[in-house]
A and B are shown apart, each in its own frame.
Chain A
Amino acid sequence: MRLARRLWRTYGAYALGFASLFAFWQLASLYLVSSVLFPPPTVVFAKGLLLARNGVLLEHLAASLKRILAGFVAGSLLGVPIGLAMGSFRPVRKLLEPYTEFLRFIPSVAMITVAVIWFGIGEASKVFLIVYTTIFIVILNTAAGVSAIAPNKIRAAESLGATRGQIFVHVALPATVPYILTGMRLAMANSFTTIVAAELIAANDGLGKMLWDGRLFMLVDEIFVSLVTLGLLGFATDRLFRWSIYTFAGKYSPAT
Protein backbone atom coordinates (compact mmCIF):
# COMPACT_ATOMS: atom_id res chain seq x y z
CA MET A 1 0.00 0.00 0.00
CA ARG A 2 2.76 2.42 1.03
CA LEU A 3 4.79 1.32 -1.98
CA ALA A 4 1.83 1.92 -4.26
CA ARG A 5 1.42 5.41 -2.87
CA ARG A 6 5.10 6.14 -3.34
CA LEU A 7 5.07 4.85 -6.91
CA TRP A 8 2.02 6.96 -7.60
CA ARG A 9 3.62 10.06 -6.17
CA THR A 10 6.79 9.56 -8.25
CA TYR A 11 5.37 8.36 -11.53
CA GLY A 12 1.63 9.06 -11.32
CA ALA A 13 1.80 12.71 -12.34
CA TYR A 14 4.22 11.78 -15.11
CA ALA A 15 1.96 9.11 -16.52
CA LEU A 16 -0.96 11.52 -16.31
CA GLY A 17 1.01 14.20 -18.12
CA PHE A 18 1.96 11.90 -20.94
CA ALA A 19 -1.56 10.51 -21.19
CA SER A 20 -3.01 14.02 -21.46
CA LEU A 21 -0.47 14.93 -24.12
CA PHE A 22 -1.58 12.04 -26.31
CA ALA A 23 -5.23 12.65 -25.51
CA PHE A 24 -4.97 16.26 -26.66
CA TRP A 25 -3.20 15.15 -29.79
CA GLN A 26 -5.90 12.57 -30.49
CA LEU A 27 -8.71 15.13 -30.01
CA ALA A 28 -6.92 17.79 -32.02
CA SER A 29 -6.31 15.53 -35.00
CA LEU A 30 -9.83 14.11 -34.95
CA TYR A 31 -11.90 17.28 -34.47
CA LEU A 32 -9.65 20.33 -34.84
CA VAL A 33 -7.46 19.66 -37.85
CA SER A 34 -8.89 16.43 -39.18
CA SER A 35 -6.55 15.96 -42.11
CA VAL A 36 -4.31 13.18 -43.39
CA LEU A 37 -1.45 15.62 -42.82
CA PHE A 38 -1.98 15.40 -39.06
CA PRO A 39 -2.55 11.73 -38.13
CA PRO A 40 -3.87 10.87 -34.65
CA PRO A 41 -1.56 9.03 -32.20
CA THR A 42 -3.43 5.76 -32.67
CA VAL A 43 -2.52 5.69 -36.34
CA VAL A 44 1.04 6.75 -35.62
CA PHE A 45 1.51 4.07 -32.98
CA ALA A 46 0.03 1.40 -35.23
CA LYS A 47 2.44 2.45 -37.96
CA GLY A 48 5.31 2.60 -35.46
CA LEU A 49 4.54 -0.92 -34.28
CA LEU A 50 4.53 -2.15 -37.86
CA LEU A 51 7.85 -0.48 -38.62
CA ALA A 52 9.29 -1.83 -35.39
CA ARG A 53 8.22 -5.38 -36.30
CA ASN A 54 9.70 -5.35 -39.76
CA GLY A 55 12.93 -3.87 -38.35
CA VAL A 56 12.94 -0.62 -40.32
CA LEU A 57 12.42 1.59 -37.28
CA LEU A 58 15.05 -0.15 -35.18
CA GLU A 59 17.55 0.07 -38.00
CA HIS A 60 17.14 3.85 -38.26
CA LEU A 61 17.09 4.24 -34.52
CA ALA A 62 20.26 2.20 -34.05
CA ALA A 63 22.01 4.16 -36.79
CA SER A 64 21.24 7.52 -35.14
CA LEU A 65 21.99 6.31 -31.64
CA LYS A 66 25.31 4.83 -32.65
CA ARG A 67 26.45 8.13 -34.15
CA ILE A 68 25.30 10.15 -31.14
CA LEU A 69 27.03 7.80 -28.72
CA ALA A 70 30.32 7.68 -30.60
CA GLY A 71 30.48 11.46 -31.03
CA PHE A 72 29.28 12.19 -27.54
CA VAL A 73 31.80 9.89 -25.86
CA ALA A 74 34.69 11.14 -28.00
CA GLY A 75 33.68 14.78 -27.53
CA SER A 76 33.43 14.38 -23.76
CA LEU A 77 36.74 12.52 -23.52
CA LEU A 78 38.43 15.36 -25.39
CA GLY A 79 36.48 18.20 -23.81
CA VAL A 80 36.99 17.36 -20.12
CA PRO A 81 40.81 17.46 -20.07
CA ILE A 82 40.89 20.54 -22.30
CA GLY A 83 38.39 22.29 -20.03
CA LEU A 84 40.34 21.29 -16.93
CA ALA A 85 43.57 22.60 -18.41
CA MET A 86 41.92 25.85 -19.51
CA GLY A 87 40.35 26.39 -16.11
CA SER A 88 43.54 25.59 -14.22
CA PHE A 89 46.29 27.28 -16.18
CA ARG A 90 46.04 30.85 -17.43
CA PRO A 91 48.44 30.47 -20.37
CA VAL A 92 46.48 27.48 -21.64
CA ARG A 93 43.27 29.45 -21.39
CA LYS A 94 44.73 32.42 -23.23
CA LEU A 95 46.06 30.09 -25.90
CA LEU A 96 42.86 28.11 -26.47
CA GLU A 97 40.22 30.75 -25.86
CA PRO A 98 40.42 32.09 -29.43
CA TYR A 99 39.48 28.60 -30.66
CA THR A 100 36.62 28.00 -28.27
CA GLU A 101 35.26 31.53 -28.38
CA PHE A 102 35.35 31.59 -32.17
CA LEU A 103 34.12 28.11 -32.96
CA ARG A 104 31.33 27.89 -30.42
CA PHE A 105 29.44 30.60 -32.26
CA ILE A 106 29.44 28.58 -35.47
CA PRO A 107 26.50 26.23 -34.95
CA SER A 108 27.12 22.59 -35.75
CA VAL A 109 24.25 22.72 -38.26
CA ALA A 110 26.27 25.27 -40.22
CA MET A 111 29.19 22.86 -40.24
CA ILE A 112 27.25 20.11 -42.00
CA THR A 113 28.34 21.25 -45.45
CA VAL A 114 31.99 21.33 -44.48
CA ALA A 115 31.69 17.98 -42.74
CA VAL A 116 30.27 16.37 -45.84
CA ILE A 117 32.94 17.89 -48.07
CA TRP A 118 35.67 16.71 -45.74
CA PHE A 119 34.36 13.33 -44.61
CA GLY A 120 31.77 12.32 -47.21
CA ILE A 121 28.28 11.18 -46.34
CA GLY A 122 29.45 8.14 -44.34
CA GLU A 123 29.69 7.74 -40.60
CA ALA A 124 32.74 9.96 -40.19
CA SER A 125 30.96 13.21 -41.04
CA LYS A 126 28.13 12.52 -38.59
CA VAL A 127 30.45 11.55 -35.75
CA PHE A 128 32.55 14.63 -36.47
CA LEU A 129 29.47 16.83 -36.15
CA ILE A 130 28.44 15.29 -32.83
CA VAL A 131 31.98 15.69 -31.49
CA TYR A 132 31.85 19.31 -32.63
CA THR A 133 28.49 19.83 -30.88
CA THR A 134 29.63 18.17 -27.67
CA ILE A 135 33.14 19.39 -27.16
CA PHE A 136 32.59 23.15 -26.72
CA ILE A 137 29.75 22.82 -24.24
CA VAL A 138 31.79 20.34 -22.21
CA ILE A 139 34.92 22.51 -22.35
CA LEU A 140 33.09 25.67 -21.29
CA ASN A 141 31.25 24.00 -18.42
CA THR A 142 34.36 22.21 -17.17
CA ALA A 143 36.46 25.40 -17.26
CA ALA A 144 33.68 27.35 -15.53
CA GLY A 145 33.54 24.61 -12.88
CA VAL A 146 37.24 24.91 -12.20
CA SER A 147 37.05 28.66 -11.72
CA ALA A 148 34.00 28.30 -9.46
CA ILE A 149 35.92 26.28 -6.85
CA ALA A 150 35.84 28.09 -3.50
CA PRO A 151 39.40 29.40 -2.89
CA ASN A 152 39.20 28.14 0.69
CA LYS A 153 38.98 24.54 -0.58
CA ILE A 154 42.35 24.98 -2.27
CA ARG A 155 43.83 26.89 0.66
CA ALA A 156 42.70 24.25 3.13
CA ALA A 157 44.42 21.57 1.05
CA GLU A 158 47.60 23.65 0.86
CA SER A 159 47.79 24.09 4.59
CA LEU A 160 47.04 20.40 5.13
CA GLY A 161 50.21 19.68 3.17
CA ALA A 162 48.87 18.73 -0.28
CA THR A 163 51.12 19.28 -3.29
CA ARG A 164 49.92 21.10 -6.42
CA GLY A 165 49.39 17.80 -8.21
CA GLN A 166 47.43 16.37 -5.32
CA ILE A 167 45.27 19.49 -5.16
CA PHE A 168 44.45 19.04 -8.84
CA VAL A 169 43.49 15.37 -8.48
CA HIS A 170 41.86 15.41 -5.05
CA VAL A 171 40.24 18.87 -4.93
CA ALA A 172 39.92 20.58 -8.31
CA LEU A 173 38.77 17.50 -10.20
CA PRO A 174 36.05 16.24 -7.83
CA ALA A 175 34.83 19.80 -7.19
CA THR A 176 34.34 20.19 -10.95
CA VAL A 177 32.47 16.93 -11.56
CA PRO A 178 28.97 18.45 -11.17
CA TYR A 179 29.79 21.05 -13.83
CA ILE A 180 31.22 18.40 -16.16
CA LEU A 181 28.06 16.31 -15.82
CA THR A 182 25.84 19.33 -16.47
CA GLY A 183 27.85 20.14 -19.58
CA MET A 184 27.56 16.57 -20.82
CA ARG A 185 23.82 16.59 -20.26
CA LEU A 186 23.40 19.77 -22.29
CA ALA A 187 25.67 18.36 -24.99
CA MET A 188 23.56 15.21 -25.17
CA ALA A 189 20.43 17.26 -25.79
CA ASN A 190 22.18 19.26 -28.53
CA SER A 191 23.44 16.06 -30.14
CA PHE A 192 19.86 15.10 -30.97
CA THR A 193 19.31 18.36 -32.82
CA THR A 194 22.52 17.98 -34.74
CA ILE A 195 22.10 14.36 -35.74
CA VAL A 196 18.66 14.95 -37.22
CA ALA A 197 19.88 17.95 -39.18
CA ALA A 198 22.90 16.02 -40.46
CA GLU A 199 20.85 12.98 -41.45
CA LEU A 200 18.25 15.15 -43.16
CA ILE A 201 20.93 16.45 -45.46
CA ALA A 202 23.33 13.59 -45.94
CA ALA A 203 22.73 10.04 -44.77
CA ASN A 204 21.61 6.62 -45.90
CA ASP A 205 19.85 5.78 -42.66
CA GLY A 206 18.90 7.24 -39.29
CA LEU A 207 15.83 8.97 -37.91
CA GLY A 208 16.62 12.13 -39.86
CA LYS A 209 16.78 10.15 -43.09
CA MET A 210 13.41 8.64 -42.20
CA LEU A 211 11.98 12.15 -41.89
CA TRP A 212 13.44 13.12 -45.26
CA ASP A 213 12.07 10.04 -47.00
CA GLY A 214 8.70 10.69 -45.41
CA ARG A 215 8.65 14.12 -46.95
CA LEU A 216 9.91 12.88 -50.31
CA PHE A 217 7.29 10.15 -50.63
CA MET A 218 4.53 11.90 -48.66
CA LEU A 219 4.55 9.21 -45.93
CA VAL A 220 3.05 11.44 -43.26
CA ASP A 221 2.62 8.59 -40.77
CA GLU A 222 6.29 7.73 -41.01
CA ILE A 223 7.27 11.35 -40.38
CA PHE A 224 5.28 11.28 -37.19
CA VAL A 225 6.73 7.92 -36.15
CA SER A 226 10.17 9.43 -36.51
CA LEU A 227 9.21 12.55 -34.54
CA VAL A 228 7.67 10.57 -31.68
CA THR A 229 10.68 8.26 -31.59
CA LEU A 230 13.01 11.27 -31.33
CA GLY A 231 10.99 12.72 -28.49
CA LEU A 232 10.84 9.47 -26.55
CA LEU A 233 14.48 8.66 -27.21
CA GLY A 234 15.64 12.08 -26.02
CA PHE A 235 13.47 11.85 -22.95
CA ALA A 236 14.70 8.36 -22.10
CA THR A 237 18.36 9.26 -22.61
CA ASP A 238 18.10 12.31 -20.43
CA ARG A 239 16.37 10.34 -17.68
CA LEU A 240 19.01 7.65 -17.90
CA PHE A 241 21.71 10.29 -17.63
CA ARG A 242 20.07 11.89 -14.60
CA TRP A 243 19.52 8.53 -13.02
CA SER A 244 23.14 7.49 -13.41
CA ILE A 245 24.35 10.81 -11.99
CA TYR A 246 22.08 10.28 -9.03
CA THR A 247 23.14 6.68 -8.54
CA PHE A 248 26.84 6.74 -9.27
CA ALA A 249 27.77 10.34 -8.56
CA GLY A 250 25.12 11.45 -6.07
CA LYS A 251 27.76 12.79 -3.71
CA TYR A 252 28.97 15.12 -6.45
CA SER A 253 25.55 16.71 -6.70
CA PRO A 254 25.80 20.49 -7.10
CA ALA A 255 24.02 21.00 -3.75
CA THR A 256 27.23 21.11 -1.71
Chain B
Amino acid sequence: MPLVSFRDVQKTYRSLQGADYPALEHFSLDIEVGEFFCLLGPSGCGKTTVLKMLAGFEHPTAGQILMEGRPVAGASRDRGVVFQGDDSLYGWLTAVENVEFGLRMRRVPKAERSERAMRYLELVGLRGQEQKYPAELSGGMKQRIQIARVLANEPKMLLMDEPFAALDAQTRTLMQAELASIWQAARTTVLFITHDIDEAVTLGRRIGVMRAGPCSQVKGVVDVSLDGARSRTDDTFLRYYKLVYEMIRDEVAKSLSRAD
Protein backbone atom coordinates (compact mmCIF):
# COMPACT_ATOMS: atom_id res chain seq x y z
CA MET B 1 0.00 0.00 0.00
CA PRO B 2 1.36 3.42 -0.89
CA LEU B 3 1.85 5.86 2.00
CA VAL B 4 -0.16 8.55 0.25
CA SER B 5 -2.58 8.34 -2.61
CA PHE B 6 -4.49 11.03 -4.44
CA ARG B 7 -7.53 9.49 -6.11
CA ASP B 8 -9.30 11.49 -8.80
CA VAL B 9 -8.82 14.68 -6.84
CA GLN B 10 -10.47 17.83 -8.06
CA LYS B 11 -9.87 21.31 -6.71
CA THR B 12 -11.88 24.27 -7.88
CA TYR B 13 -11.18 27.68 -6.43
CA ARG B 14 -14.28 29.77 -5.93
CA SER B 15 -13.86 33.24 -7.29
CA LEU B 16 -15.48 36.36 -5.90
CA GLN B 17 -15.74 37.95 -9.33
CA GLY B 18 -15.71 36.10 -12.65
CA ALA B 19 -15.57 32.36 -13.20
CA ASP B 20 -14.47 29.67 -10.74
CA TYR B 21 -11.04 28.23 -11.49
CA PRO B 22 -10.62 24.45 -11.77
CA ALA B 23 -6.98 24.11 -10.70
CA LEU B 24 -6.88 20.29 -10.60
CA GLU B 25 -9.11 17.69 -12.17
CA HIS B 26 -8.80 13.88 -12.05
CA PHE B 27 -5.49 14.29 -10.31
CA SER B 28 -4.13 10.90 -9.21
CA LEU B 29 -0.78 10.08 -7.66
CA ASP B 30 0.75 7.48 -5.31
CA ILE B 31 3.74 8.11 -3.08
CA GLU B 32 5.51 5.10 -1.59
CA VAL B 33 6.89 4.78 1.92
CA GLY B 34 10.43 6.10 2.21
CA GLU B 35 10.70 7.60 -1.24
CA PHE B 36 11.86 11.05 -2.27
CA PHE B 37 9.20 12.26 -4.68
CA CYS B 38 9.70 15.45 -6.66
CA LEU B 39 6.68 17.18 -8.12
CA LEU B 40 7.66 19.40 -11.02
CA GLY B 41 5.55 21.70 -13.13
CA PRO B 42 5.23 25.13 -14.73
CA SER B 43 4.34 28.11 -12.56
CA GLY B 44 0.68 28.23 -11.59
CA CYS B 45 -0.05 24.60 -12.50
CA GLY B 46 -1.22 23.70 -9.00
CA LYS B 47 1.82 22.28 -7.17
CA THR B 48 1.21 24.28 -4.01
CA THR B 49 -2.47 23.34 -4.21
CA VAL B 50 -1.50 19.64 -4.12
CA LEU B 51 0.77 20.21 -1.11
CA LYS B 52 -1.78 22.28 0.81
CA MET B 53 -4.42 19.60 0.40
CA LEU B 54 -2.09 16.82 1.53
CA ALA B 55 -0.99 18.95 4.48
CA GLY B 56 -4.65 19.39 5.40
CA PHE B 57 -4.80 23.17 4.98
CA GLU B 58 -7.25 22.92 2.06
CA HIS B 59 -9.95 20.40 1.20
CA PRO B 60 -10.38 18.81 -2.23
CA THR B 61 -13.57 19.76 -4.06
CA ALA B 62 -14.00 16.12 -5.07
CA GLY B 63 -12.01 12.89 -4.89
CA GLN B 64 -9.99 11.44 -2.04
CA ILE B 65 -6.60 11.90 -0.47
CA LEU B 66 -5.54 8.93 1.64
CA MET B 67 -2.61 8.56 3.98
CA GLU B 68 -2.01 5.01 5.18
CA GLY B 69 -5.44 4.19 3.81
CA ARG B 70 -7.27 6.85 5.84
CA PRO B 71 -8.65 10.10 4.39
CA VAL B 72 -6.68 13.21 5.28
CA ALA B 73 -8.74 15.36 7.65
CA GLY B 74 -6.96 18.52 8.66
CA ALA B 75 -3.32 19.13 9.55
CA SER B 76 -1.47 16.58 11.63
CA ARG B 77 2.00 16.13 12.99
CA ASP B 78 2.35 13.09 10.69
CA ARG B 79 2.96 15.54 7.84
CA GLY B 80 5.60 18.17 8.57
CA VAL B 81 5.65 21.16 6.24
CA VAL B 82 8.56 23.30 5.09
CA PHE B 83 7.07 26.48 3.68
CA GLN B 84 8.37 28.47 0.73
CA GLY B 85 8.95 31.76 2.53
CA ASP B 86 10.19 32.42 6.05
CA ASP B 87 6.92 33.79 7.44
CA SER B 88 6.19 30.54 9.26
CA LEU B 89 9.07 30.98 11.71
CA TYR B 90 8.33 32.49 15.11
CA GLY B 91 10.18 35.77 15.36
CA TRP B 92 9.91 35.94 19.15
CA LEU B 93 11.63 32.58 19.65
CA THR B 94 15.33 31.82 19.22
CA ALA B 95 16.52 29.32 16.63
CA VAL B 96 16.60 26.48 19.15
CA GLU B 97 13.21 27.44 20.60
CA ASN B 98 11.75 27.39 17.09
CA VAL B 99 13.15 23.90 16.54
CA GLU B 100 11.78 22.73 19.92
CA PHE B 101 8.31 24.10 19.26
CA GLY B 102 6.58 20.87 18.28
CA LEU B 103 8.19 18.95 21.14
CA ARG B 104 7.20 21.60 23.63
CA MET B 105 3.59 21.43 22.46
CA ARG B 106 3.69 17.69 23.09
CA ARG B 107 5.18 18.27 26.56
CA VAL B 108 8.43 16.44 25.90
CA PRO B 109 10.61 17.09 28.99
CA LYS B 110 12.90 20.09 28.75
CA ALA B 111 16.20 18.22 28.83
CA GLU B 112 15.16 15.78 26.16
CA ARG B 113 13.73 18.36 23.81
CA SER B 114 16.71 20.69 23.91
CA GLU B 115 19.03 17.73 23.39
CA ARG B 116 16.99 16.72 20.35
CA ALA B 117 16.72 20.28 19.02
CA MET B 118 20.48 20.73 19.29
CA ARG B 119 21.05 17.46 17.45
CA TYR B 120 18.94 18.60 14.50
CA LEU B 121 20.44 22.08 14.50
CA GLU B 122 23.81 20.42 14.23
CA LEU B 123 22.52 18.24 11.40
CA VAL B 124 21.53 21.27 9.34
CA GLY B 125 24.81 23.02 10.14
CA LEU B 126 23.53 25.63 12.56
CA ARG B 127 25.56 24.79 15.65
CA GLY B 128 26.53 28.02 17.38
CA GLN B 129 23.55 29.95 15.99
CA GLU B 130 21.00 28.46 18.37
CA GLN B 131 20.51 31.56 20.52
CA LYS B 132 19.87 33.91 17.59
CA TYR B 133 16.45 35.14 16.56
CA PRO B 134 15.21 34.55 12.99
CA ALA B 135 15.65 38.25 12.18
CA GLU B 136 19.38 37.86 12.89
CA LEU B 137 19.82 34.99 10.42
CA SER B 138 20.26 34.84 6.65
CA GLY B 139 17.64 33.43 4.28
CA GLY B 140 19.49 30.11 3.98
CA MET B 141 19.83 29.80 7.75
CA LYS B 142 16.13 30.48 8.24
CA GLN B 143 15.28 27.77 5.74
CA ARG B 144 17.52 25.38 7.71
CA ILE B 145 15.69 26.22 10.92
CA GLN B 146 12.44 25.31 9.20
CA ILE B 147 13.94 22.00 8.12
CA ALA B 148 15.37 21.29 11.60
CA ARG B 149 12.03 22.23 13.19
CA VAL B 150 10.21 19.71 11.04
CA LEU B 151 12.82 16.97 11.43
CA ALA B 152 12.94 17.34 15.23
CA ASN B 153 9.21 16.65 15.29
CA GLU B 154 9.84 13.30 13.54
CA PRO B 155 6.85 13.25 11.17
CA LYS B 156 6.02 10.29 8.96
CA MET B 157 6.38 12.49 5.95
CA LEU B 158 7.99 15.78 4.89
CA LEU B 159 6.19 18.19 2.58
CA MET B 160 8.49 20.81 1.09
CA ASP B 161 7.25 23.63 -1.14
CA GLU B 162 10.14 25.03 -3.17
CA PRO B 163 12.17 25.35 0.02
CA PHE B 164 15.31 26.55 -1.74
CA ALA B 165 13.75 28.76 -4.40
CA ALA B 166 14.70 32.01 -2.69
CA LEU B 167 18.33 31.06 -2.08
CA ASP B 168 21.38 32.00 -4.13
CA ALA B 169 22.84 29.31 -6.41
CA GLN B 170 25.74 28.34 -4.11
CA THR B 171 23.64 28.07 -0.97
CA ARG B 172 21.02 26.14 -2.88
CA THR B 173 23.54 23.54 -4.11
CA LEU B 174 24.85 23.20 -0.56
CA MET B 175 21.37 22.78 0.91
CA GLN B 176 20.45 20.22 -1.74
CA ALA B 177 23.47 18.14 -0.81
CA GLU B 178 22.59 18.43 2.90
CA LEU B 179 18.99 17.43 2.30
CA ALA B 180 20.11 14.47 0.17
CA SER B 181 22.36 13.18 2.92
CA ILE B 182 19.73 13.77 5.61
CA TRP B 183 17.29 11.74 3.54
CA GLN B 184 19.91 9.01 2.95
CA ALA B 185 20.28 8.67 6.71
CA ALA B 186 16.66 9.01 7.82
CA ARG B 187 14.66 7.68 4.83
CA THR B 188 11.63 9.74 5.73
CA THR B 189 9.13 9.98 2.88
CA VAL B 190 9.44 13.34 1.14
CA LEU B 191 7.17 15.22 -1.23
CA PHE B 192 9.37 17.93 -2.68
CA ILE B 193 7.94 20.62 -4.92
CA THR B 194 10.09 22.50 -7.35
CA HIS B 195 10.01 24.09 -10.78
CA ASP B 196 13.75 23.51 -11.25
CA ILE B 197 14.53 20.43 -13.39
CA ASP B 198 18.11 20.29 -12.18
CA GLU B 199 16.96 20.23 -8.56
CA ALA B 200 14.42 17.51 -9.30
CA VAL B 201 16.97 15.24 -10.99
CA THR B 202 19.50 15.93 -8.23
CA LEU B 203 17.15 14.97 -5.39
CA GLY B 204 14.26 12.88 -6.65
CA ARG B 205 13.95 9.09 -6.74
CA ARG B 206 10.83 9.66 -8.79
CA ILE B 207 9.82 12.82 -10.57
CA GLY B 208 6.20 13.61 -11.35
CA VAL B 209 5.70 16.18 -14.08
CA MET B 210 2.46 18.15 -14.02
CA ARG B 211 0.50 19.57 -16.92
CA ALA B 212 -0.16 23.28 -17.23
CA GLY B 213 -3.40 24.42 -15.60
CA PRO B 214 -6.36 24.65 -15.62
CA CYS B 215 -7.51 21.08 -14.84
CA SER B 216 -3.93 20.01 -14.23
CA GLN B 217 -2.92 16.38 -13.71
CA VAL B 218 0.27 14.36 -13.52
CA LYS B 219 1.50 14.08 -17.10
CA GLY B 220 3.98 11.33 -16.32
CA VAL B 221 6.34 9.96 -13.69
CA VAL B 222 10.04 9.40 -14.28
CA ASP B 223 11.95 6.82 -12.25
CA VAL B 224 15.43 8.12 -11.57
CA SER B 225 17.81 5.21 -11.07
CA LEU B 226 20.84 7.17 -10.06
CA ASP B 227 22.28 6.35 -6.69
CA GLY B 228 24.64 7.92 -4.23
CA ALA B 229 26.12 11.28 -5.09
CA ARG B 230 24.74 12.63 -8.34
CA SER B 231 26.94 14.67 -10.58
CA ARG B 232 25.60 17.23 -13.00
CA THR B 233 28.25 16.27 -15.56
CA ASP B 234 27.33 12.60 -15.45
CA ASP B 235 25.90 11.21 -18.72
CA THR B 236 22.96 9.51 -17.03
CA PHE B 237 22.16 12.69 -15.12
CA LEU B 238 22.04 14.60 -18.37
CA ARG B 239 19.87 11.91 -19.96
CA TYR B 240 17.31 12.25 -17.17
CA TYR B 241 17.53 16.00 -17.36
CA LYS B 242 16.70 15.87 -21.07
CA LEU B 243 13.90 13.40 -20.56
CA VAL B 244 12.21 15.59 -17.98
CA TYR B 245 12.93 18.70 -19.99
CA GLU B 246 11.16 17.25 -23.04
CA MET B 247 8.13 16.44 -20.86
CA ILE B 248 7.83 19.84 -19.33
CA ARG B 249 8.73 22.04 -22.30
CA ASP B 250 5.32 21.91 -23.93
CA GLU B 251 3.59 22.51 -20.61
CA VAL B 252 5.63 25.63 -19.91
CA ALA B 253 4.84 26.89 -23.41
CA LYS B 254 1.14 26.22 -22.82
CA SER B 255 1.11 27.96 -19.48
CA LEU B 256 2.88 30.98 -20.97
CA SER B 257 0.51 31.26 -23.93
CA ARG B 258 -2.48 31.03 -21.57
CA ALA B 259 -1.07 33.79 -19.43
CA ASP B 260 -1.17 36.19 -22.40
Please list the residues of chain A having a beta carbon within 8 angstroms of any beta carbon in chain B: 150, 152-153, 155-163, 166, 170-171, 174-175, 177, 251-252, 255-256
Contacts and interface: CB of A to CB of B under 8 A. Distances in A.
A152 B134 CA distance: 15
Interface string B82-110: 01010111111000000001101110000
Contacts of A158: 56-57, 74-75
Nearest to A173: B92
Given A160-B149, A166-B105, A155 B90 contact: no
Interface residues of B, number: 30
Contacts of B105: 157, 160-163, 166, 170
A255 B134 CA distance: 11
B90 A159 contact: no
B133 A251 contact: yes
B77 A159 contact: yes
A230 B102 CA distance: 49
A252 B98 CA distance: 15
Interface in B126-141: 133-135
Nearest to A167: B105
The prevalent SS among residues of B at the interface is loop
A256 B101 CA distance: 18
Interface of B: 55-57, 74-77, 79-81, 83, 85, 87-92, 101-102, 104-106, 133-135, 149-150, 153, 155
A156 to B, nearest CB: 4
A150 B90 CA distance: 10
A251 B135 CA distance: 10
A252 B92 contact: yes
Contacts of B153: 160-161
A156 B74 contact: no
Nearest to B146: A156
B80 to A, nearest CB: 6
Given A150-B87, A160-B102, A155 B133 contact: no
B92 A152 contact: no
Contacts of B135: 255-256
Contact of B81 (A155, A252, A255): A155
